[in-house]
Structures are given as structure tokens and as C-alpha cells.
Amino acid sequence: MRNNMLFFFLVLSMPVIAKDKSKKLVSRTTLESGFTLSTNGAMNAAALHGVQYWGIGKSRKPFKLGLGLRFTSSLGSSTLQYITAPASITSGKTGPGVFFASNIPNNIDTVKLNGTQVNALNVVVHLNTRIYKKWSAEFNIDAVGFSFGSHKNATLFYGDGTKQQANFSAKPTAGNALLISDNDLGSLNSEFKLFYQVGKKGKVNAGLAFLFNEYKLGSTVKYVNSLGTAIEVDRYRTKALLFALGYNVILK
């Protein structure tokens, strides 16, 4: 999903970039702060961020790159399912090829938690392009950081879903890193949004957020599945597509 959003953003920005035929230069533009509220009913999140943008282009700078920090706090209901996280198990692949690899259903187990609450502080990368006058579009994505949250009670469904084991303790995976697809580690947030500038200092925005939340069990699960594959795992992840609304303030 993240990769599809990035592709769509790049296609959208190409006509704007093509109009600037002058030699491209990079210079600091705006420093902004903002918040986003997002939900899909089962998952709710609030995010605060600060970002410094750099414009690309000699004059109008229609395309901007940004680097900042984002704090995302999410609440999930007990209906959410967390599935086996490591790509080496879900698809049997690692590295860039995992993006094109199919999942192996027999290798994927499910964890249910008594509600979830994950706090993540990550470095975030922004890609922004002006569309028309006060309108702009942006894709942003968390790159690296850390997460924390309280312990939760977990029930594991494993062995092709035919076996159940309760009384696990789980907590958010501490480290976060954007790698590729299921190689990703921890809890990461990404957004695709449209912005409309209000006055000189404000920007309202709306779009979609895509949230990875990951929990780690207190003990490693080990068994051999029906395919004869030895499973050894303690990380489980949920992926949520959310509707998002937000507001940015231009600080300078």
C-alpha cells in the first residue's frame, strides 16, 4: 500500500516538475508544525509533527523535500488481528525481492490483544508538490525511531489456526525502521494528503494514513507447521488504512 501511494504521488508531481525547465537548485523554504487525526473505526490515531522543507527549483520551487519528527499515538480495539511480522517467515524472502513475493498462508499466525496502545516517535520524510495556487499534495513516511506502550494480554492462534494458546504478555516492538514491505520493523506511519492553504500561516489537509503497528511477545513461539516448516517468531503486526484530517501552521 505504501509503495502504491508513493508511485501515485510521483506520477502526480511529474507534470508540475516538468514545467520548471531552469537549472534546479535546493534552498530552505518553510518550517512547519501540525497535527493529524485519523480513524477507520477499529484503529484511531493522533499524530504531531514538525518538518523543515527544502524547495527544488530556481524560482517557484513547485517540489519540496522535508525532514522532521513525528509522534504518533494510536488506539486499537480488541477486534484487530496481529499477524506474523518477519518477511523471512511470511514469504520466505528477505531483501528487496520481498516486495514481489507472495505470502505463505501456512506460515502466518494470528495474535489477538485486549486492545492496543502504541506510541511511536520517528524521523519522517516528506515529499510535497504544489498542484495549483493554494493546493498541494504530499506523501510522507516514517523512516526510523522507537516505540513504547503498556503490556497487553495476548492470545495466539497458530498451527494453521487450529491451535490456541493464551496468557502471553505482549508489548510494542521497541525499534522502528523502514526497510521494504514486510522487512519493516516496528510501528510506522505514512500519509498521502491534499493541502489547502488558509491565509498566510495555515494549511488544512485531508487524505489517507497507512499505519503499521507491531507487538512483540514476551516469549518466542516455536513449532513445526503442516508444511514441515520450523516456525520461530515473537513479532506480530497489524496494517491499518485510515481516513485522515489535519492542520499545519507555517512557523517561518
Which phi and psi angles does 72 have, rounded to 5°? -115, 125
- Domain limits, the chain: 2-79+111-215+240-250
Confidence band, pLDDT 50/70/90 cuts, at residue 208: very high
* One-character DSSP codes across 47-102: EEEEEEEEEESSSS--EEEEEEEEEEEEEE-TT-EEEE--HHHHTS--SGGGGGPP
Specify the DSSP class assigned to residue 20: -
Question: Residue 126 burial by CB count (10 A; 0-12/13-18/19+): exposed, middle or buried?
Answer: buried
Q: How far apart are CA 39 and CA 1, in angstroms?
A: 17
Q: How many angstroms from the chain centroid is the CA of residue 173?
A: 14
pLDDT digits (tens, 9 = 90+) for 127-172: 999 998 899 999 999 999 999 999 999 999 988 777 888 889 999 9
Q: How many angstroms from the chain centroid is the CA of residue 22?
A: 35
Q: Which one has a higher pLDDT value, 46 or 225?
A: 46
* CATH of the domain spanning 2-79+111-215+240-250, picked from 3.40.50.720, 3.90.1150.10, 3.30.70.141, 2.40.160.20: 2.40.160.20
The whole-chain average pLDDT of the chain stands at: 89
pLDDT of residue 2: 57
How many beta carbons lie within 10 A of that of residue 172, not counting itself? 24
On whether the CB atoms of residues 146 and 91 are closer than 8 A, the answer is no
